[in-house]
């Protein structure tokens, strides 16, 4: 059932995000309503294919769509030009023409990769995002950023390319490993801190329900996050300014991920830890009242995260921060909260402050190594 839809307002490139649960039966009819070409390339990964591909293909075929599934191995390494090329090859061999649709059916990796393929194959074919992880549903499938990694940096090759619609079905998340739910919550809490005090309060009241994917609480949160991301995207599609606020927790987070060689921490875990460190920086700079900082830390601490910062060296993390692609002319740049629900951009935070914030965060999270 479709519970509601949220619009991403971008003039003639506007599109809806459909949100609900057990929605598969309505998928093909919605494709029809949108007038999508019958030839559909369904790009997915091996995990999602095993769990969810057949019902989707069956539904499409019933309404005379002609789906061509392309299944790639799971994992961030697939977000590469090499994998994109292999997909182009398959599409060319199967004579996929410009009047076709690409369905990105998976987590953020598939969304970015398949979106990039859709943006570039024969100068662009229709794209539909069908996100299957919490992170992808509340964040990466909305806003049109697509791309692949380069050996010299993550997300270095890409485009802005908006889908025809986004299809967010809570049912998909029921098979998601707990660790991935935790990762998605990183972005959810982020929206509360940067833009929406009421959402933050709702999370404080219902966190445990949300973790169990309780329908009513969860759908409320999902819809609110989609609205916030849609609003930010509408106001700043190509990241000229406002969209940067979505980077709260990410300056430290990206550096933590890199310092752990992308093995120790997943993105969402790094963002949860990054938000603790950055809100502490905000407090030390006198921007954020201490009680507000404590609320942020208390909520994040309730998220059952088993990540450890024990093996990470603060000096190495700081060195990675200097290489962040969002830093401008060598100055570091932080999105810092001034109260829950509001942020500002601050540049040139001193290294000594970064170091002490990292050390305090590490003290909260120095669990023994994951088994």
Ligand X SMILES: NC(=O)c1ccc[n+]([C@@H]2O[C@H](COP(=O)([O-])OP(=O)(O)OC[C@H]3O[C@@H](n4cnc5c(N)ncnc54)[C@H](O)[C@@H]3O)[C@@H](O)[C@H]2O)c1
Q: Segment near ligand X (CB under 6 A), from 87-95, 107-115, 207-215, 274-282?
A: 107-115
Count the Cβ atoms, other than its own, within 10 Å of residue 225.
27
Q: Is there binding between residue 132 and ligand X (CB under 6 A)? A: yes
- Which residue of the set 39, 79, 83, 250 is catalytic? 250
Contact between 135 and ligand X by CB under 6 A: the answer reads yes
Let me know: does 142 contact 225? Beta carbons within 8 Å: no
List 164, 266, 267, 293, catalytic entry: 267
Among residues 41, 104, 172, 340, which is the contact residue for ligand X, using CB under 6 A? 172
Minimum separation from the CB atom of position 115 to ligand X (A): 7
How many CA atoms, within 13 angstroms, populate the side-chain half-sphere of residue 104?
37
Q: How far is the CB of 74 from ligand X (least distance, A)?
A: 4
45 binds ligand X (CB under 6 A): yes
CA–CA dist 171, 234 (Å, integer) = 28
182 touches ligand X (CB under 6 A): no
Virtual torsion, Cα 44, 45, 50, 51, nearest 10 deg: -70
CA gap 268, 331 in Å, rounded: 25
* Structure tokens, 123: 């100068």
Catalytic residue among 47, 59, 149, 247: 247
Of residues 100 and 133, the one with the C-beta less far from ligand X? 133
Element (H, E) at 368: none
Please tell me whether residue 183 binds ligand X under the rule CB under 6 A.
yes
Q: State the binding string over 247-276 for ligand X (x if CB under 6 A, else -).
A: --------------------x---------
Give the nearest distance from C-beta 155 to ligand X in angstroms: 6
CA angle 165, 130, 143 (to 5 degrees): 55
254 is catalytic: yes
Residues in contact with ligand X, shown as a per-residue x/- string from 72 to 91 under the rule CB under 6 A: --x-x--x------------
Shortest distance, CB of residue 207 to ligand X, whole angstroms? 20
Q: How far is the CB of 363 from ligand X (least distance, A)?
A: 27
Own/partner long-range contacts of 208-217 (Cβ < 8 Å, ≥24 apart): 208/302, 210/185, 211/181, 211/185, 211/303, 211/304, 213/170, 213/173, 213/174, 213/181, 215/21, 215/170
User: Per rule CB under 6 A, is residue 321 in the interface with ligand X?
Assistant: no
- Dihedral class, residue 11 (left if φ above 0, else alpha if ψ from -120 to 50, else beta): left
Compute CA distances 7 → 25, 192, 221, 231, whole Å: 22, 20, 16, 9
Question: Is 166 among the residues that bind ligand X (CB under 6 A)?
Answer: no
Cα(201)–Cα(334) distance, rounded to whole angstroms? 24
Q: Enumerate the active-site residues.
A: 123, 145, 187, 229, 239, 243, 247, 250, 254, 267
Q: Which residues bind ligand X (CB under 6 A)?
A: 45, 47-48, 51, 74, 76, 79, 106-110, 112, 132-133, 135-136, 139-140, 143, 145, 155, 172, 175-176, 180, 183, 267
């Amino acid at each position: 059932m479709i519970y509601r839809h949220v619009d991403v307002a971008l003039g003639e490139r506007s599109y809806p995000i459909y949100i609900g649960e057990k929605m598969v039966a309505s998928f093909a009819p919605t494709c029809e309503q949108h007038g999508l070409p019958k030839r559909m390339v369904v790009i997915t990964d091996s995990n999602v294919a095993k769990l969810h591909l057949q019902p989707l293909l069956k539904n499409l075929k019933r309404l005379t769509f002609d789906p061509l599934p392309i299944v790639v191995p799971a994992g961030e390494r697939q977000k590469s030009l090499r994998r994109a090329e292999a997909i182009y090859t398959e599409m060319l061999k199967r004579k996929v023409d410009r009047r076709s649709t690409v369905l990105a059916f998976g987590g953020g990796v598939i969304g970015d990769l398949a979106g990039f393929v859709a943006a570039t194959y024969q100068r662009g074919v229709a794209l539909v995002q069908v996100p299957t992880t919490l992170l992808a549903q509340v964040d990466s499938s909305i806003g049109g950023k697509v791309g692949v990694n380069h050996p010299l940096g993550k997300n270095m090759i890409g485009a802005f390319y908006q889908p025809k619609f986004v299809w967010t079905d809570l049912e998909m998340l029921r098979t998601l490993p707990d660790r991935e739910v935790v990762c998605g919550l990183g972005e959810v809490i982020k929206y509360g801190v940067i833009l929406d005090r009421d959402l933050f309060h709702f999370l404080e009241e219902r966190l445990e329900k949300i973790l169990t994917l309780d329908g009513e609480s969860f759908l409320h949160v999902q819809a609110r996050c989609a609205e916030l991301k849609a609003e930010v995207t509408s106001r700043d599609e190509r990241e000229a300014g406002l969209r940067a606020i979505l980077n709260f927790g990410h300056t430290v987070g990206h550096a933590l991920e890199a310092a752990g060689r992308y093995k120790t921490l997943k993105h969402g875990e790094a963002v949860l830890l990054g938000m603790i460190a950055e809100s502490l920086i905000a407090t030390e700079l006198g921007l954020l009242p201490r009680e507000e900082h404590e609320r942020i830390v208390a909520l994040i601490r309730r998220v059952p995260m088993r990540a450890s910062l024990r093996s990470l060296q603060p000096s190495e993390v700081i060195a990675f921060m200097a290489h962040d692609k969002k830093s401008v002319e060598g100055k570091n740049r932080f999105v810092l909260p001034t109260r829950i629900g509001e942020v500002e951009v601050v540049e040139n935070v001193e290294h000594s402050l970064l170091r002490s914030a990292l050390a305090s965060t590490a003290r909260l999270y120095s669990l023994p190594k994951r088994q």
